[in-house]
Structure 1
Amino acid sequence: MTTIEAHAAEPRSRLEHFPISFFGVSMGVFGLALALHAGGFERASRATGWTGIAVLAVLFLVLGLKVLRHPAAIRAEWSHPVRLAFFPATSISLLLLATFLREAAPAAANLIWIAGAAVQGVLTLVVISVWIGHRAFGPGHLSPAWFIPAVGNVVAPLAGVPLGHAELSWYFFSVGILFWIVLLTLVVNRLVFHDPLPERLRPTLVILIAPPAVAFLAWIQFNGGTIDAAARILINAGFFFTALVAIQVPALLRLPFVLSFWALSFPLAAITTASFRFAALTGSDLHRGLGLVLLALLVLTILALAVRTARAAIAHQICQPE
């Protein structure tokens, strides 16, 4: 192959290997926008949210091109025991977009929420059907990324309840909480009694933070902002997993950069938002201060991830066959 032919073939190859896990970027950016909003930083929240919209539009455009030009690659990703779990990151991104737009553009947010909820509902059923079907899965296939398809349902009430979809939101919340308990048991068993996670999946440990933190935010939507015993259990479980993951951070930072590092962003945003909301509803200066510390860490994390992703893209180290 000549040099010209090689350069012409490269964009097609990179498109073919565009990973569905890239939607973790949009989840992280929207998570930051919501955390800034909860902290009272409205201008920064709006700017970040619109950046998230641009990122999500590009991701859906690239995904659409991949579906059209490389359907076999999409089927291979769907058949992969690890990558399968990342497909609902697309619908969760839509639900987060609806949450961001809920106050400024409720009509648009409602349409986006309905679309995101529909896709999330279908993907949850299909992915879980695959899990319990005839395909053989081993302990090595299990990671905290498995929380995404089922437990991601707890994101739906964040915008669903204020937009008037209370009963549908209860459905998604119920499914998410049920599978959080089931999958948490399986994941802890895998982490304790089986081989360590591969390097590329170790950053997904941070996902442990997201379910209780987002569930807290959803629960207070149902309760009209009341902090009861269930709310306290959920947010403190989120703080425990945050502390547990913090112990692992030095080891994670020694790993070579991979796209799964974006798994750090949304869970950190979720616990940051939860801390701000708890502070606002209870008047706790401790939780307000903790939220500010977490927000600073979140901003630094996303900036570092953006820089590392840009460097990896320039060096052609992403969207490459594994």
Structure 2
Amino acid sequence: MTAETETPAKGSLKHLPITLFATVMGLAGLSLALHMAETQFGWPPLASRVALWLTMADFAVVAALYVLKSLRFQAAVAGEWGHPVRMAFFPAISISLMLIATAMLPTMPGIASWVWSIGALAQAGLTLAVISGWIGRRPFQPMHISPAWFIPAVGNVVAPIAGIPLGFVELSWLFFATGMVFWIVLLTLVMNRLIFHDPLPGRLLPTLAILIAPPAVGFLAWLQLNGGALDPFARVLFYTAITFTAIVVVQARGFVKLPFALSFWALSFPVAALTIATFRYANLSGSQAHVALAAVFLAALVLIVAGLIARTGVAAVRDEICQPE
């Protein structure tokens, strides 16, 4: 029996997508957003801890399955690495680790330091590998570009959020500088593609939400790097995230008509980052309007993640996830 004619179970493993790590990012973002809400409203730290353990379990399962896929189906993994969209999702692995480390900080700082270090090392390697793949291996066309290309840049900007409290100051600045520069470059490319070329295909339309993540995460990282001051640059980053949110909301009516795909998980982490950023902005500015706005974002996040979990479960039961495209 060859690698191409295995049993159905093995065949499903072969098509396990790297995009599944987006579920970990979404759940980690939910845990962090719930922790912010618990702090803001004085709630007991129960929901955020449950979400954190769910996140860690999800990461363990997805990572184990993907390692197994890597051992059995190297050609399939190479195919995902060569895919112009899926390649950008590989840093979701390292981002997930750094987000888990951030969520661990309040209760498990020692473990968080190790998890962050592993995630940061992986992020550095994957950033160089992805950018090298973009530059040197093959020509890309405008239709290959999508907001998913922001993911490697977002990973670098995530690093300082836990890196500064853990004492990795210079590394945090390095990651932040790299992420912000490439965000600006990629923003130009992505907007050019969205405005002047064919619309995104249906399966990629939910990735528009990723536009929100870089400025929202950048706002949180900048607060860590500058000592928590709500300076003009912080305000620019926050309100850029708000502007992109409005753009995505206007476009969101097109999402409703689409059949479910794992790309819908692209909605979760950006909304989580926006929620956390809005809570932070509210605390620093003393604005009750921003507290109310953060509560609205949190409610939307909970509904989005709950719906995604339910729909992913249905898709898994129907064997709709690990299928060839």
- TM-score band, normalised by the shorter chain? over 0.9
The equivalent of 2:26 in structure 1 is 28
Instruction: Give runs of ≥4 in structure 1 deviating > 4 Å.
Output: none
| TM-score normalized with structure 1 length | 0.97
The equivalent of 1:311 in structure 2 is 314
The equivalent of 1:198 in structure 2 is 201
The one-letter code sitting in structure 1 at the alignment partner of 2:301 is: L
Q: Which moved more, 1:199-208 or 1:148-157?
A: 148-157
Task: Name the CA distance, whole Å, in 2 between partners of 1:54 and 1:317.
Answer: 22
Q: How does 1:122-137 map to 2 (within 5 A)?
A: 122-137=125-140
Task: Name the CA distance, whole Å, in 2 between partners of 1:39 and 1:229.
Answer: 25
Task: Name the CA distance, whole Å, in 2 between partners of 1:81 and 1:139.
Answer: 11
Task: Name the CA distance, whole Å, in 2 between partners of 1:224 and 1:130.
Answer: 36
The one-letter code sitting in structure 1 at the alignment partner of 2:65 is: V
Residue aligned with 1:176, SS:
helix
Task: Name the CA distance, whole Å, in 1 between partners of 2:299 and 2:284.
Answer: 21
Can you give the 5+ residue segments of structure 1 that lack an aligned partner in the other structure? none
Residue from 27, 46, 50 that aligns with 2:49: 46
Can you give the 5+ residue segments of structure 2 that lack an aligned partner in the other structure? none
Task: Name the CA distance, whole Å, in 2 between partners of 1:172 and 1:312.
Answer: 36
The equivalent of 1:104 in structure 2 is 107
Task: Name the CA distance, whole Å, in 1 between partners of 2:8 and 2:283.
Answer: 51
Residue from 204, 221, 225 that aligns with 2:224: 221
Residue 223 of structure 1, CA deviation: 1.7
Residue 50 of structure 1, CA deviation: 0.8
Task: Name the CA distance, whole Å, in 2 between partners of 1:213 and 1:119.
Answer: 22
Residue 66 of structure 1, CA deviation: 0.5
The equivalent of 1:233 in structure 2 is 236
Residue aligned with 2:177, SS:
helix
The equivalent of 1:186 in structure 2 is 189
Asked if 2 retains the 8 angstrom alpha-carbon contact of 1:257 and 1:308, the reply is yes
The one-letter code sitting in structure 1 at the alignment partner of 2:277 is: A
The equivalent of 1:64 in structure 2 is 67
Task: Name the CA distance, whole Å, in 2 between partners of 1:170 and 1:37.
Answer: 25
Q: How does 1:69-88 map to 2 (within 5 A)?
A: 69-88=72-91
Residue aligned with 2:198, SS:
coil
The equivalent of 1:208 in structure 2 is 211
Residue 99 of structure 1, CA deviation: 0.2
Residue 81 of structure 1, CA deviation: 1.3
The one-letter code sitting in structure 1 at the alignment partner of 2:9 is: P
Taking only aligned residues, the RMSD between alpha carbons, in angstroms, comes to 1.2
Equivalent pairs counted in the alignment come to 317
| TM-score normalized with structure 2 length | 0.96
Residue 52 of structure 1, CA deviation: 0.4
Task: Name the CA distance, whole Å, in 2 between partners of 1:282 and 1:166.
Answer: 25
Asked if 2 retains the 8 angstrom alpha-carbon contact of 1:214 and 1:270, the reply is yes
The one-letter code sitting in structure 1 at the alignment partner of 2:22 is: G
Asked if 2 retains the 8 angstrom alpha-carbon contact of 1:157 and 1:169, the reply is yes
Residues 204-244 of structure 1 show CA distances to partners (whole Å, capped at 9, x for unaligned) of 00000000000000010112211110110000000000111
* Percent of pairs with identical residues: 56
The equivalent of 1:154 in structure 2 is 157
The one-letter code sitting in structure 2 at the alignment partner of 1:104 is: T
